[in-house]
Amino acid sequence: MKYFVTSDIHGHYKVLIDSLKKANYDEENPNHHLLIIGDMFDRGSESKEVFEYLYRLNQADKATILLGNHDYFMVEFLEGNFERTRFNINHNGLFATLSSFVDHELAYEDDLKVYKERIEKNYPDLLNWLKSLPLYLEINDYIFVHGGVNPNLEDWRKASLRDFVWSYEVNMMPVPGKTVVAGHHRVSSIRHPERRDYQKMHDEHPEFFDPIYLPGKILIDRFVEVSKELNVLVFDL
């Protein structure tokens, strides 16, 4: 089986499709399996399209989607945690996701309960589906995860949701005998944490957005808002 692995789509449906095509992914090929290691939503304007595409593949057993922190923001919204929702609207791009799902741009003062009810009506399975998404996938010598794996626990598999979706794998000790493949932490920021003009960086050095290979880990978040591309790795597993 070929696993096509990418992460941090952030509401960029067209970029997702183009990047998968470039990687020669074919959803009709029974030996191709798509693995999304978190963050379908927020920032881009096509979160609904990303969800509908990935949900269809997931229901057909053609894709596995792991939970990311931005996906969990939608869980919090659908569970009625509007305090967190307003924080994520202001700071994390959730405004774009909700606008996408209700098919028009929200006004900040709009009643979030109205949009929650509308989304629940149109996508009644969305909340339970999001809550069912796994936090990691372990295949042979690989661990796929959104944020990171805590090897300091007696059993890293029993870590908290926060550990898996919010940790930065680059800061973690390697897991003995395993290679951890993670998103969440933009590789351009890892390479050059002191730089902030990422558009200029991409214009001058697009290679700074390529995957980072370290002992026992591979980091792949390409910063789609700037690069307009996703890193897609292919594993024969």
Specify whether the CB–CB gap between 188 and 151 falls below 8 A.
no
- Tens of pLDDT, residue by residue over 15-66, are 999 999 999 999 999 999 999 999 999 999 999 999 999 999 999 999 999 9
Q: Are 8 and 68 in contact (CB under 8 A)?
A: yes
Strand partners, 182: 145, 219
Got the DSSP string for 44-98?
SS-HHHHHHHHHHHHHTTSEEE---HHHHHHHHHHTT-HHHHHHHHHHSSHHHHH
Greatest Cα pair distance in the chain: 51
pLDDT digits (tens, 9 = 90+) for 191-220: 998 877 999 999 999 999 999 999 999 999
pLDDT in tens, 151-162: 999 999 999 999
pLDDT at 195: 76
Q: Are 183 and 68 in contact (CB under 8 A)?
A: yes
CB 62 within 8 A of CB 68: no
Q: Are 49 and 21 in contact (CB under 8 A)?
A: no
Q: What is the residue whose two structure tokens read 């609904």?
A: 48
Average pLDDT, the chain: 95
Q: CA-to-CA distance for 212 and 6, rounded, in angstroms?
A: 13
Return the structure tokens found at 48: 């609904």
Query: What pLDDT shows up at residue 108?
Result: 60
Cα–Cα distance measured from residue 198 to residue 64, given in angstroms and rounded to the nearest whole number = 30
CATH class of 2-236: alpha beta
Question: CB–CB of 76/45 below 8 Å?
Answer: no
